Amino acid sequence: MELMERKGEISASMMCSDLVNLKETIEIFEQEGVERLHIDVMDGIFVPNFGLGVDYIRGLRSLTGIPLDLHLMIKEPEYKLQWIGIEPTDIVSIHYESSFQVQRVLDWLAPYGCKRFLAINPATPINSLEEVLDYIDGINVLMVNPGFAGQKIVPSTMRKAAKIAELLRREGREDIIMEVDGNITPANARKLRDVGASIFVAGTSSIFKGDISKYRDNIEELRRAIV
């Protein structure tokens, strides 16, 4: 499948959500057809912040059947996968730098039946992908340095996304999905859609911009950008 042939999907960044209105937020996402809920799991070691943990994930599953997009910003994820309760409908992203044995982590993810993504930071060399293409279903391209919401895009990551798309074409691996994460405004989403991105992590730059009364309009605006 060509990169641009895939339907554009929204993955709502739940670290940006208001916990007070969580149930109502989820109901809006269900009604608006948001495809995934993006969960940033942070351990304070791999990135300088603490994020959403296993109890939050468990609670969210009790609220909705929307599939999860689990972004593991944790050190040595291979030893922690069993804590999370991974389901076959999930995406699970692990970072290239998070383990000395990246291929082993991806191997250990295989029995869960989930989609296996490799997340790469703005400064992660593109050639790091070449040795793992046979182990992954997708690439999560970080457009900001991970750890905190609300950052501005690292300008070079726009060029990087285009280069990754070219690498996938050159290697005959256009079946691999490109996800983009960080400062995904509608304008940035349109540019990234044009180079082949199909999953868009949506946070304070798009669907969580403003209060809950704005979420439906924000989702519609982002949808128009990623068709």
Alpha-carbon gap, residue 147 to 145, rounded angstroms: 7
Phi-psi region of 33 (alpha: psi -120 to 50; beta: other; left: phi over 0): left
Q: Which tokens in the block code for residue 209?
A: 């911009």
Closest CA to 222 of 9, 2, 6, 16: 9
| Active-site option among 43, 69, 90, 181 | 181
* Known catalytic residue at 69: no
CA-angle at 107, arms to 105 and 111, nearest 5°: 115
Which residue type does 79 have? Y
| Active-site option among 40, 43, 69, 90 | 40
Alpha-carbon gap, residue 60 to 80, rounded angstroms: 19
Q: Which tokens in the block code for residue 215?
A: 């979420």
* Known catalytic residue at 40: yes
Closest CA to 53 of 15, 8, 26: 15
Alpha-carbon gap, residue 208 to 221, rounded angstroms: 12
Beta-bridge partner residues of 12:
37, 202
Helix axes 22-32, 54-63, angle to 10 degrees: 60
Active-site positions? 40, 181
